[in-house]
A = this chain, B = another copy of it.
Amino acid sequence: MTTEKKTPLKTPRSYRLLCPIARGLDRVGDRWTLLLLRDLHAGPARFSDLQSSLQGMAPNLLTERLRALESDGLIRRKDAGYNVNVYELTPLGASTGSLLFELAKFGSQFPPAEELAQSGNLRLIAVTLKMALASAVASAISGSGSLESLAVELRVDGEPFDIKVLEGNVSVLYKHSEEPEAVISTSYEPLVAVGDGRMTGEELFSKHVKIVEGSAEKAIRLFELLNTGFGAPG
């Protein structure tokens, strides 16, 4: 007889606080959401691409997150015909780039656990590469005033990234380049070591990078930029 009626929570789990951080978390604070956005920074992706990258995420959750992100205007779904749906970032969703970069720099301070799952693909590094390059390009511009251009394909453990720097703009997409000035290959481990500050870009370049084809100069410049970008305050 002591059972009381509980008020059943009007809105499903939202901080209702007058604070921009809380408003941000109401959009991207749910479990998996930031990892999902991270993947989409590598370019449009299909449901199964995301599933293979986000090992351990249940498909119903993926569906739910995609719906929520779409309704908040961070991503948009495009029907690409023949039963293929692709999801891609809107400009609003793309504005999570620097947030994800800061989160990556924070997380790099912690050692990886012993047993962990590999992602099914390497989409995850695109944001970090992009933001590091963007940061380096910005400081190169303010330092010298000169704009540079770069169009290379970087292969990381065989997976292709189309990297373009043009007029101060940086793009890093998970795909093959169409007319690259150079094609370079490296592997994941040493690359993250540079991100964590355990290795310099020079060492990476001299020991763990192969130029598959094209200009060595452009390849060198890419790793100079990466070195600057990972070291810079962000």
Contacts and interface: CB of A to CB of B under 8 A. Distances in A.
A106 B24 contact: yes
Contacts of A25: 34-35, 103, 107
B112 A18 contact: yes
A118 B17 CA distance: 6
Interface residues of A, number: 57
Interface in A83-129: 92, 95-96, 98-110, 112-113, 115-119, 124, 127-128
Contact of A110 (B27, B98, B100, B106): B27
30 contacts: A13-B31, A14-B113, A16-B113, A16-B116, A17-B117, A18-B116, A18-B118, A18-B119, A19-B35, A19-B119, A19-B124, A20-B103, A20-B107, A21-B35, A21-B38, A21-B104, A22-B35, A22-B107, A23-B108, A23-B110, A23-B112, A24-B108, A26-B110, A27-B107, A28-B106, A29-B31, A29-B34, A92-B109, A99-B105, A234-B234
Interface of A: 13-29, 31, 34-35, 38, 54-56, 92, 95-96, 98-110, 112-113, 115-119, 124, 127-128, 138, 142, 192, 195-196, 233-234
